[in-house]
Amino acid sequence: MTNDIFLKLMTKEHLIEKTVDYLENLPDDKVIEVADFTEYLYHKYDEYVLNKGIQKLVSESKSFDFLKEEEELYTLNDLKEKYK
């Protein structure tokens, strides 16, 4: 494990421990509020990861490669009227 990864893990572990310490001192209604917000952030991040995965699949897909090889059917000379 490289030092950068180790430092990030230590920082994440430290932040989690610190957050748990804070949560232990909060009243129940505030803990529920934090849990709801954490769930919201998790779902938002999960959706972001899913969208990035879909974008990667689409960008690497060969499904529309045939369009790159298709000859142009129309040119500017085919226009009857040009708009300015």
Span 9-52, pLDDT tens digits: 678 889 999 999 999 999 999 999 999 999 999 999 999 999 99
Residue 84 lies in a domain: no
For the entire predicted model, the pTM comes to: 0.56
**Within a domain: residue 8?**
yes
What is the rounded CA–CA span in Å between residue 45 and residue 41? 6
HSE at residue 21, side-chain half, CA atoms within 13 A, is 6
pLDDT in tens, 41-82: 999 999 999 999 999 998 888 887 877 787 888 888 888 887
| Domain around 20 | 3-69
| Rounded Cα distance, 23 and 26, in Å | 5
Give me the number of domains the chain comprises: 1
Does any domain span residue 17? yes
HEC string of 49-81 equals: HHHHHHHHHHHHCCCCHHHHHCCCCCCHHHCCC
Residue 75: inside a domain: no
